[in-house]
Structure 1
Amino acid sequence: MPSYKAPLRDMRFLMNEVFDYPKHYQKLTHGAAADPETVDMILEGAADFCENVLFPLYQSGDAEGCHFDNGTVTTPKGYKEAYAQLVQGGWQGLSYPEQYGGQNLPPSLNLIKSEMMGTANWSFQMYPGLSIGCMNTIMQYGTASQKDTYMPKLVTGEWSGTMCLTEPQCGTDLGQVKTKAEPRQDGNYNISGTKIFISAGEHDLTENIIHIVLARLPDAPEGTKGISLFIVPKFLSHADGSIAERNQVSCGSIEHKMGIRASATAVLNFDNAIGYLIGEPHKGLHAMFTFMNTARIGTAIQGIAHAELSFQNALPYAKERLSMRALSGKKAPEKVADPIIYHADVRRMLLTQKAIAEGGRAMIYYAAQISDNMQDALERGDNTAFKQYDDQLGFYTPILKGFLTELGHEAANLGMQVFGGHGYIKEWGMEQIVRDARIAMLYEGTTGVQALDLLGRKVILGSRGKVIRDYTSEILRFSSNHARNKYMRGFAWELTKLCAQWNTLTLRVIMAARKDRDMVSSASNDFLMFSGYVMMAYFWAQQAAVASEKIGANQGPESIEFYKAKIKVADFYFERLLPRAQGHAEAMVHTPRSMLALNAEHFSFDY
């Protein structure tokens, strides 16, 4: 049977020693409440909830799945009770204003809580997770009346939320959205259309579900410039917030999926359902990106969550499973064979999982601080600072989502590989992690979409390479400051070379794209993966720098071993994983010729 233990030591290392969260919180307008004692209580409480309530439902929820009966969706056994505990614990409202029943804590704490919940049970995390984007959208673009109507119940978790974008004929290309919004005499709208792949679109956990829906007004221009955004509740509500009659939105079916089977993915039919415009007409896509950025960072967490869970279960198995003798000599002479952890190839797999989980966690936790700063600027009304942090996070988001989900799936597969044939058997739980991880590279924009967003929108069109120059300047300052540290010399020199290469590659791709626009698409995936490997190297170097300082400060024996392990895993990352970046570097600068040489009609298996 699999197990889960929240990695609180590593979380605290990043929060308190690498990124100095206590000092960061002090600078925020509402950060005073996030004092070290409160933060520690939240971490301990979330760990207890995730380990003892959510994780025990992980395998059983997958085995049972969700049930659909004539428009009604029932979640697996134990889910309603677990969700009730989520509501009772106030977990949904950590980062929302007190006036709506929240605790007004920084958004980063919600992301860190979400990591634990997602690692313990990603299917369950999908239900409250979708509500976060719904709440963020209403908070930023909703009217005072809309906030008063929907936020209190969403914040407590009594109601949940969704995002309704995809339709049968379109996924990423939202310019093809056909759902209609017809004006009503009361100033609201009748929404009609079908949405598919709606996570948490129908379920029995909450009394109401608030759908955020993209639709077109009658006078809408073509394409993405003609999309508006609407609030469409499952149940209408009275002025006092109590439930009124059922709205004309129904669940036509739920999907039968490869993984995350305990998360209901619904087909929703809107048949003149009453909707309320949120934001400005025809500018719904801009508002929806509030939702999308939240969702994409949340999906990036899925990458490290599956890497962590797979590693936690592969490690004890590798210590116990006996097979052959180590090539360097017997390690357990009293046993018939040595534990497989003494074989170098098994070490390679375990260290790869550990490097991905802990390196990715550092990337996420740093981005979480940017999210805090964005929210703080918004609350202060500082539009200049908000734009600066929004652009900064916009650079990180496609790398986090694309790179970390790709590596998270790799780590999940490696965990299954450590188990050998047992990894293929359901009872061990490793194959479920692989199945659950696979969706992460698909939803909220595939890896290819993230790559185009990074290279096309953020690097070429958005900044003409400046965003790379600015980021590499930050890395170079770090490298210069640590060039004399005996633990850090190798890391600093390697990062310096990579920064020069990153800028050169960016310039080469930009110049080539001027002559051939297909260059952007053909180079984008390799550009994203190269960027991800370099970024993770930088964050591993930061962890190694702090660890080396702590070793020099003569910490206790237990802490010393933790810090030494950090440096050794950083060494492994630089020696064994970072070289992959060079393959991506070589591939991205080739012209699209070989990709486009075969005509579309010649893509055939039958000549």
Structure 2
Amino acid sequence: MPAYKAPLHDIRFLMNEVFDFSAHYKTLSNGEAADADTVDMILEGAADFCENILSPLNQSGDEEGCTFDNGEVKTPKGFKEAYDQFVQGGWQGLSFPEEFGGQNLPQSLNLIKSEMMGTANWSFQMYPGLSVGCMNTILQFGTDEQKNLYMPNLVAGTWSGTMCLTEPQCGTDLGQVKTKAEPNAEGTYHISGTKIFISAGEQDLTENIIHIVLARLPDAPAGTKGISLFIVPKFLVNPDGTVGQRNPVTCGSIEHKMGIRASATAVLNFDNAVGYLIGEPNKGLHAMFTFMNTARIGTAIQGIAHAELSFQGALPYAKDRISMRALSGKKDPEKVADAIIHHADVRRMLLTQKAIAEGGRSMIYYAAQLADKMADALERGDTAAFEAADDHLGFYTPILKGFLTELGLEAANHGIQIYGGHGYIKEWGMEQIVRDARIATLYEGTTGVQALDLIGRKVLLTSKGKVIRDYTTEILKFCAQNATNKYMRRFAWDLTKVCAQWNALTVRIMLAARKDRDVVSSASVDFLMFSGYVMMAYFWAQQAAVASEKLASGDGKESAEFYKAKIKVADFYFERLLPRTQGHAEAMVNPSKTMTSLAPEHFSFDY
């Protein structure tokens, strides 16, 4: 298994030189404490914890997995001790209010910390990661009493949280939720039903688990308009905040999974468990999207995490492994063959991994600033600013989640390919990265679901294409500013062309959908991938612009090779990955009939 090394140089490059996080933090009500020294201390501390505590447990945790016995779950050896260190370090409360024991730092720092943790050990990151959405939901929709009762221990990390949406008969289509919530005389509710695929739904790391549960009241309307949201603790909580008696929430089993085997995925049975309404009756889905947006950004991080880890494993192997001679002549004449890094196809795969990891990281970090703005607006009670940031992030979210997880899986597969036959062997750890990465395209909404959300809801229904026009206008302004820069001229021209194409494609699909409604679905994944490649190109161009400026001015001479590499990888992205947009463009505008003309009964393997 590759030993994780935090890419602090790239992280600092994005934070300090590309996105100017220091100036960004000064615009936030809680940004004053995020000074340069504090941020650097957090980055160094997170890197140390991830490299020395979490990374060594990644492969052993996969091999051991979680064990289930009569409703109890045991995490792999070393996880409890690592989690205790996580709690002692105050890492869970990084971006939560001081009144509940947190450090009240911007949310972006928590996301950057989560990227490091997830790359080092994604299974471990799942345990505290799910709690973040739980806490955000309680903070935004909970009563003062609920906040004071649950937040201190959640912020400390001594308690954890989950989200309980999926049921045996429904996943994404939450209108089919059947879990019942019966009111009782005490003003609480009895929750009954079964939830499946509940990450961290049962474990031995925390003394209590706070479940956020979707359920229906007796008089609820049908469909999504009749869903309410409830807090259902594993152990009831006494008025003084101490743990009380066990609530009838039991773990029926845990799943035997392809990957992230050290993360317990539970089946939870609620048998008249005591629950507490959070938010308004029948408006639980709205509140749950607070949770889901957090989770989807977190899953997008998984895409770049696995790309980064696979690259870190593949690069040293490619430098050491010798096989055949390079076509351009001997590179290691003193050896019987050349290192495989000298073969162009191996470089293609390495550069693809690097382009995905570093391009995706820049996309995530920009989205992290939007998350900061949302949280700040919510804290200040500025509804207009909150909705503006929420809409902006809402456009990014399906692209980040769908596109980055698909590319993260591609990068992980390249890691195995670079190793050749050794990549297929468990002891090297490269195949684990692929298995762990595979789930990212599925949970929190599959790629197809994200694609429909993007084109159906965000682009066509809500904005009538305006969101694409606005975003491409931003890109074109950047292109105009850099059109005369000798390093940037070709990037600006390519971006200008694909932006024009993006708008044209949007209009074509919008017009086609008037006669062929299925074209929205049939075009959706191609549209999402096209959008992702253009967006990543824009972020690579931004990195190249900063790097070229530094080289031209002579600033940062100690990082000259780093800046040169940035421009070279940007060149590779524009020459080798951005052209993929053209295949997606051609496919998405074709009529839907090739997908819809075959009757269901003709999908047969037995003629």
Match of 2:18 in 1: 18
Once residues 553 and 422 of structure 1 are traced to their aligned partners in structure 2, the CA distance between those partners, rounded to angstroms, is 45
Residue type matched to 2:270 in 1? F
Match of 1:62 in 2: 62
Deviation at 1:2, TM superposition (A): 2.0
Deviation at 1:47, TM superposition (A): 0.2
Q: Is the 8 A contact 2:138 2:146 kept in 1?
A: yes
- Deviations along 1:474-524, one digit per CA (max 9) or x if unpaired, are 000000000000000000011111111000000000111111111110010
Q: Which moved more, 1:169-178 or 1:509-518?
A: 509-518
Match of 1:406 in 2: 406
Residue type matched to 1:319 in 2? K
Once residues 515 and 143 of structure 1 are traced to their aligned partners in structure 2, the CA distance between those partners, rounded to angstroms, is 48
Match of 1:276 in 2: 276
SS in 2 for 1:570: helix
Q: Does 1:382 align with 2:347?
A: no
Once residues 27 and 271 of structure 2 are traced to their aligned partners in structure 1, the CA distance between those partners, rounded to angstroms, is 48
Match of 2:73 in 1: 73
SS in 1 for 2:514: helix
Match of 1:134 in 2: 134
SS in 2 for 1:419: helix
Deviation at 1:556, TM superposition (A): 4.9
Once residues 289 and 410 of structure 2 are traced to their aligned partners in structure 1, the CA distance between those partners, rounded to angstroms, is 28
Match of 2:578 in 1: 578
Q: Does 1:191 align with 2:185?
A: no
Once residues 548 and 48 of structure 2 are traced to their aligned partners in structure 1, the CA distance between those partners, rounded to angstroms, is 32
Match of 1:485 in 2: 485
SS in 2 for 1:217: coil
Deviation at 1:552, TM superposition (A): 1.0
Once residues 163 and 517 of structure 2 are traced to their aligned partners in structure 1, the CA distance between those partners, rounded to angstroms, is 32
SS in 2 for 1:504: helix
SS in 2 for 1:212: strand
SS in 2 for 1:590: coil
Match of 2:525 in 1: 525
- Deviations along 1:535-592, one digit per CA (max 9) or x if unpaired, are 0000000000000000012135541100000000000000000000110000000010
- Deviations along 1:228-276, one digit per CA (max 9) or x if unpaired, are 0000000001111111000010000000000000000000000000000
Residue type matched to 2:96 in 1? Y
Match of 2:321 in 1: 321
Aligned positions, number = 607
Q: Which structure 2 residues correspond to residues 467-486 of structure 1 after superposition, within 5 A?
A: 467-486=467-486
SS in 2 for 1:361: helix
Q: Which structure 2 residues correspond to residues 580-599 of structure 1 after superposition, within 5 A?
A: 580-599=580-599
TM-score of the two chains, using structure 1 as the length reference: 1.00
Match of 1:201 in 2: 201
SS in 2 for 1:46: helix
Once residues 436 and 133 of structure 1 are traced to their aligned partners in structure 2, the CA distance between those partners, rounded to angstroms, is 21
Q: Does 1:364 align with 2:395?
A: no
- Deviations along 1:344-403, one digit per CA (max 9) or x if unpaired, are 000000000000000000000000000000000001110001000000000000000000
SS in 2 for 1:92: coil
- Deviations along 1:168-221, one digit per CA (max 9) or x if unpaired, are 000000000000000010011000000000000000000000000000000000
SS in 2 for 1:299: helix
Q: Does 1:457 align with 2:457?
A: yes
Residue type matched to 1:339 in 2? A
Distance 1:395 1:520, change over 3 A: same
Match of 1:162 in 2: 162
- Deviations along 1:110-131, one digit per CA (max 9) or x if unpaired, are 0000000000000000000000
Match of 2:352 in 1: 352
Q: Is the 8 A contact 2:300 2:401 kept in 1?
A: yes
Once residues 182 and 41 of structure 1 are traced to their aligned partners in structure 2, the CA distance between those partners, rounded to angstroms, is 49
Once residues 101 and 82 of structure 1 are traced to their aligned partners in structure 2, the CA distance between those partners, rounded to angstroms, is 21
Q: Does 1:420 align with 2:420?
A: yes
Once residues 2 and 485 of structure 2 are traced to their aligned partners in structure 1, the CA distance between those partners, rounded to angstroms, is 41
Once residues 556 and 83 of structure 2 are traced to their aligned partners in structure 1, the CA distance between those partners, rounded to angstroms, is 41
Match of 1:305 in 2: 305
Match of 2:293 in 1: 293
Q: Is the 8 A contact 2:17 2:546 kept in 1?
A: yes
SS in 2 for 1:449: helix
Q: Does 1:341 align with 2:341?
A: yes
Q: Which structure 2 residues correspond to residues 15-54 of structure 1 after superposition, within 5 A?
A: 15-54=15-54
Once residues 2 and 86 of structure 1 are traced to their aligned partners in structure 2, the CA distance between those partners, rounded to angstroms, is 22
SS in 2 for 1:95: coil
SS in 1 for 2:104: coil
Residue type matched to 2:145 in 1? S
SS in 2 for 1:434: helix
SS in 2 for 1:515: coil
Once residues 594 and 182 of structure 2 are traced to their aligned partners in structure 1, the CA distance between those partners, rounded to angstroms, is 48
Match of 2:509 in 1: 509
Stretches of 4+ aligned residues off by more than 4 angstroms: none
Residue type matched to 1:232 in 2? V
TM-score of the two chains, using structure 2 as the length reference: 1.00
Once residues 2 and 362 of structure 2 are traced to their aligned partners in structure 1, the CA distance between those partners, rounded to angstroms, is 25
Once residues 147 and 207 of structure 1 are traced to their aligned partners in structure 2, the CA distance between those partners, rounded to angstroms, is 18
Once residues 160 and 557 of structure 2 are traced to their aligned partners in structure 1, the CA distance between those partners, rounded to angstroms, is 47
Once residues 490 and 392 of structure 1 are traced to their aligned partners in structure 2, the CA distance between those partners, rounded to angstroms, is 28
Structure 1: 5+ residue runs without aligned partners? Answer: none
Residue type matched to 1:201 in 2? G
SS in 2 for 1:181: strand
Once residues 4 and 99 of structure 2 are traced to their aligned partners in structure 1, the CA distance between those partners, rounded to angstroms, is 35
Once residues 200 and 510 of structure 2 are traced to their aligned partners in structure 1, the CA distance between those partners, rounded to angstroms, is 41
Once residues 180 and 526 of structure 1 are traced to their aligned partners in structure 2, the CA distance between those partners, rounded to angstroms, is 39
Q: Percent same amino acid at aligned positions?
A: 81
Once residues 216 and 381 of structure 1 are traced to their aligned partners in structure 2, the CA distance between those partners, rounded to angstroms, is 30
Once residues 182 and 324 of structure 1 are traced to their aligned partners in structure 2, the CA distance between those partners, rounded to angstroms, is 71
- Deviations along 1:52-105, one digit per CA (max 9) or x if unpaired, are 000000000000000000000000000000000000000000000000000000
Once residues 526 and 56 of structure 1 are traced to their aligned partners in structure 2, the CA distance between those partners, rounded to angstroms, is 39
Distance 1:556 1:276, change over 3 A: closer
Once residues 30 and 173 of structure 2 are traced to their aligned partners in structure 1, the CA distance between those partners, rounded to angstroms, is 38
Match of 1:107 in 2: 107
Once residues 198 and 342 of structure 1 are traced to their aligned partners in structure 2, the CA distance between those partners, rounded to angstroms, is 45
Once residues 555 and 423 of structure 1 are traced to their aligned partners in structure 2, the CA distance between those partners, rounded to angstroms, is 41
Residue type matched to 1:132 in 2? V
CA RMSD of aligned residues (A): 0.5
SS in 2 for 1:236: strand
Once residues 361 and 86 of structure 1 are traced to their aligned partners in structure 2, the CA distance between those partners, rounded to angstroms, is 24
Deviation at 1:3, TM superposition (A): 1.1
Once residues 556 and 397 of structure 1 are traced to their aligned partners in structure 2, the CA distance between those partners, rounded to angstroms, is 34
- Deviations along 1:433-473, one digit per CA (max 9) or x if unpaired, are 00000000000000000000000000001100000000000
- Deviations along 1:262-291, one digit per CA (max 9) or x if unpaired, are 000000000000000000000000000000
Structure 2: 5+ residue runs without aligned partners? Answer: none
Once residues 238 and 438 of structure 1 are traced to their aligned partners in structure 2, the CA distance between those partners, rounded to angstroms, is 41
Deviation at 1:598, TM superposition (A): 1.0
Q: Does 1:182 align with 2:176?
A: no
Once residues 384 and 582 of structure 2 are traced to their aligned partners in structure 1, the CA distance between those partners, rounded to angstroms, is 37
Deviation at 1:9, TM superposition (A): 0.2
Residue type matched to 1:468 in 2? I
Once residues 549 and 556 of structure 2 are traced to their aligned partners in structure 1, the CA distance between those partners, rounded to angstroms, is 13
Q: Is the 8 A contact 2:323 2:338 kept in 1?
A: yes
Once residues 172 and 218 of structure 2 are traced to their aligned partners in structure 1, the CA distance between those partners, rounded to angstroms, is 22
Q: Is the 8 A contact 2:202 2:264 kept in 1?
A: yes
Once residues 419 and 186 of structure 1 are traced to their aligned partners in structure 2, the CA distance between those partners, rounded to angstroms, is 62
Once residues 596 and 26 of structure 2 are traced to their aligned partners in structure 1, the CA distance between those partners, rounded to angstroms, is 54
SS in 2 for 1:251: strand
Q: Is the 8 A contact 2:2 2:310 kept in 1?
A: no
